[in-house]
Amino acid sequence: MPEHTSETAVKTVAETNKPPAEYPLADGRVAIHDPAIAEENGVYYIFGTHRRFAKSRDLVHWERFDNNLSRDPHALLDEIWHNWPSQPENPELEGNTWAPDVIWNETMRRWCMYLSVNGANFRSVIVLLTADHLDGDWTYVGPVVYSGFTPDNVRLTDVPRVLGDEAYGNLARYQSLKDTHINAIDATPIQCEHGEIWMSVGSWFGGIWMFRLDPATGLRDYTTRYPLVKNAADPYYGVKVAGGYWNSGEGSYFVRENGWWYLFMSYGWLGREGGYQIRLFRSKNLVGPYFDQNGNPAISSGEIPDNHTRGTGIRLTSSVKWSGGPTRDEEVEVSQGHNSALRRSSDGRLFLVYHTRFIARAEEDYETHIRELLPTPDGWLAAASYEYQGVPATAPTAQEQLTGEYEIVMHDPHTFFNGKRREDGSWEGVNAPRTITLHEDGRVTEGDVVSFYDTSAANMPRGTDGPATCGSWRLLGVSGAVAVPTPSETASPTPSETAGPNPSTTAHPDVCNPQSNATTDIASATSAAPRPLRESMWRPSCCRAEMAITVDDVTYTGVFAVLPRETDGRPTLTFTAIGGNRALWGARL
């Protein structure tokens, strides 16, 4: 099978015009691609590609349900389908309804669904549908944003309304995959902290863009104008927040927590061996700039071949095979991505929702999985070590329980499952665990006694007294007490987050802040002194065990949490942490 570069992805996406076959699932499991989650009246709903919908009361046991959109999409979408996306290369509507997301619009008092009606050659359109309830039927409202337009067909879109006479002029940038030629898919509506509704759109190629919606209609806000600033802002697509230059990156999703906006997006290609993976960035402002822990910007400044094997963005999950589960190739997640997130109304906890494929299952045999998101002491969000099984993360009850042997897994951003085996028979890109021991005195050791020479000229061999020390660990806060953090443990911005304003926001007023008509200075917004550590974070009960661990000269900060193992449900002490732009999981043996 050829390497999944962006060129092969173009062909593959164009061929994805029929709903895939459905495979048998374990009881309560559901297979929904590009899952978007929402909650209404204590019931959780997932909406996904090819109009697959499901609901649950516990986030574990799911059942599919239908509505008028799933039963008869032509009744709602035929007119817009034939007016824009329908072409000989993809003649069937059924396989071209992609990646919906939903949001409650308080002004309209209705649920708003933003759905991509996809076409070949990126001739796609995001449309709006509304409903009174998430399990009810939907009403078509109209188109929100188009892609794939050219001088020959731009009159069929709303581009002339937005650009004016420019729509009939030079549109070359909209035909360049290394400029602003995006595909109008993966819509994500976001309500900012000031109550305004924005929407991000785009995938791969031209990057991820964001523009404001009119809360009265749910459609584009035509009164907001955006300048043309290369790699930063566009009069039609709005503010650029990530990606570009034909680099992989799609499925954007935004969460606000701890005074930060977190941007999740998927790098790689969605196929089983395509290296699909979730990367994380954050910003003090919804429209950016977004950076990872090392200060790398989410917006690309040039072509990055195979960017899904590079170090930009924190990789939250990877393919893992360890004793707490998964243990079988049929269960090992590969190509995880296109996530959404839920804040549960009953307790405020956050959950990561994504689709995944598996090592030893068919290409289209995928599932929707959920993990709890836990806050780190330095203001990041980390995925729980085990899949959510109905029991939320809880704190260990005593400090002495924390010591002992652990398996640890580091989520390597440079590798992915590619279907090849190493010389020892293990799969490339599947991260195997290491066994370490946390000692009461703060040491972290690994392995057996080591014999070595460190005075070779004198020919004086010596050996360690026991397993070699590979790092250290410590608690940052126990039972409500807070240890004095080092500067790196506070939720302060990285140097790049305060280095200066984002071109996309200085080129365009901070319309997300109704109190401001001035251009936004992200530097001043992020340079304010951070709040005290524990006040600056959402605190489920597990946050009484905030920790720092150094392994192989990299320091990670995170949290201990008791979770049920995937193999047998046994409550197990785990930790999840982030450091050096990498995520680390641990589980006690």
Task: Say how many Å lie between the first and final Cα of the chain, rounded.
Answer: 38
Number of other CB atoms surrounding residue 517 within 10 Å: 9
Euclidean distance between CA atoms 512 and 581, whole angstroms: 29
Euclidean distance between CA atoms 503 and 490, whole angstroms: 27
Euclidean distance between CA atoms 291 and 529, whole angstroms: 18
- Residues β-bridged to residue 564: 571
179 is known as an active-site residue: no
Euclidean distance between CA atoms 430 and 420, whole angstroms: 10
Q: What is the phi/psi pair of residue 430, to 5°?
A: -100, 115
66 is known as an active-site residue: no
Euclidean distance between CA atoms 251 and 201, whole angstroms: 8
The single-letter DSSP state of residue 148 is S
Q: Which tokens go with 8? A: 């092969």
Number of other CB atoms surrounding residue 272 within 10 Å: 24
Buried b (16+ CB within 10 A) or exposed e, 304-335: bebbbbebbbbbbbbbbbbebbbeeeebbbbb
Catalytic residue among 158, 179, 250, 273: 250
Q: Which tokens go with 560? A: 């201990």
Residues shown for the chain: 589
Euclidean distance between CA atoms 347 and 550, whole angstroms: 32
The single-letter DSSP state of residue 32 is -
Buried b (16+ CB within 10 A) or exposed e, 399-408: eeebeeebbb
119: left (phi over 0), alpha (psi -120 to 50) or beta: beta
CB 392 within 8 A of CB 540: yes
CB 181 within 8 A of CB 234: no
Q: Which of 353, 393, 385 is nearest to 251 (CA)?
A: 353
Q: What is the phi/psi pair of residue 206, to 5°?
A: -80, -5
Q: Which residues belong to the active site? A: 34, 250
